[in-house]
Amino acid sequence: MINVDLKGQVALVTGGNRGIGRSVALALAKNGAAVCVTGRNHDLLGSTASELQAVSPESFSMECDVRDPSAQSRVFHEILRRFQRLDVCVPNAGGATLASATQTTLEQWRTDIDTNLTGVFITATEALKIMMKQKHGHIIGVVSKAGTTAFVARAAYCASKWGARGFLKCLALEAQKHNVKVTALCPASVATDFQKNNPAGTDWMMSPDCVAEAILYLLGLERNAYVDEWLISTWEKPEKDKAKLDQGKLPLGEIARA
């Protein structure tokens, strides 16, 4: 794992109670940052917070649904109350509807858009307001490869992720005037609990730690350099699975959230 000196820095990771978010939060804490993790699962949050505090005592957790602007506002208020600063923000919380466009209900559509796009909008804009005053900071949105290309049975998910990627690139134009970096990080399939029923298995996927290491690399770049968009791919799935997917014969469980 890459080592970066984050001592004295404060970080926020949404969806930080498991999977990619947990790996990212732990990596930041182990490198010296005080980390706030948010999520909706009380028990998982408590467990992750304990792990974080073992290496970074000032770290803490808060329950938060990223679709709720009031809940997000409370998180940022608490961060400022405790530390008066925010150096790193990783909007990571997300979810996926597994359905084709014609099979997607309006409720499913709204859930994906509200979580993966509006949630990122709220988190990133609140973070930028703080960082603009500081004249420094880095917002790294965990998007997905699904934000760069289309996939079978992921209509709402792809739409939300394409939107999040586009939003972050627009935000970067505003942020750079204030010495704040914004990166859209787009990993392909990641071996998390979300993938446990994937019929193709998870051996071919990247680990959550790989995404965390990518974030540490981004944070370690010199002041005048940043990556505005980073697509991290995996090797192709076995040809037999790819052929089934192309023919629409793989079950919806094959569809993966990066």
Look at the chain and count its residues: 258
Our CA dihedral for 36, 75, 137, 60, rounded to 10 degrees, sits at -10
Whether 5 is covered by a domain: the verdict is: no
Residue 62 has pLDDT above 90, yes or no: yes
56 backbone φψ class: left, alpha, beta (φ>0; ψ -120 to 50): beta
Q: What was the pLDDT predicted at 209?
A: 82
3 state SS of 19: helix
Which range, 41-45, 53-57, 234-238, 254-258, is most confident? 53-57
Q: What was the pLDDT predicted at 194?
A: 64
Q: How confident is the model at residue 239 (pLDDT cuts 50, 70, 90)?
A: low
Q: Range of 154's domain?
A: 10-254
Strand order in the sheet with 34-39: 60-63, 34-39, 10-14, 88-90, 137-142, 180-187, 229-232
Closest by CA to 225, choosing from 196, 183, 165, is 183
Cα-trace Rg, the chain: 18
Proportion of the chain above pLDDT 70, given as a percent: 86
Residue 63 has pLDDT above 70, yes or no: yes
Can you give the CATH number for the domain in which 40 is found?
Answer: 3.40.50.720
Instruction: Report how many domains make up the chain.
Output: 1
One-letter amino acid identity for 227?
V
Q: What was the pLDDT predicted at 190?
A: 66
Give residue-wise pLDDT tens across range 175-210.
Answer: 999 999 999 998 887 655 665 666 666 676 777 888
Whether 65 is covered by a domain: the verdict is: yes
d(CA 91, CA 116): 9
Taking the alpha carbons of 197, 200, 201, 205 in that order, is the dihedral positive or negative?
Answer: negative
Q: What was the pLDDT predicted at 249?
A: 46
d(CA 189, CA 53): 29
Q: Which two tokens stand for residue 235?
A: 């090797």
Whether 34 is covered by a domain: the verdict is: yes
Residue 226 known to be catalytic: no
Whether 100 is covered by a domain: the verdict is: yes
Given the residues 157, 162, 167, 226, select the one marked as catalytic.
157
Whether 184 is covered by a domain: the verdict is: yes
SS (H, E, C) 22-74: HHHHHHHHHCCCEEEEEECCHHHHHHHHHHHHHHCCCCEEEECCCCCHHHHHH
3 state SS of 174: helix
Whether 190 is covered by a domain: the verdict is: yes
Whether 3 is covered by a domain: the verdict is: no
Whether 207 is covered by a domain: the verdict is: yes
pTM: 0.88
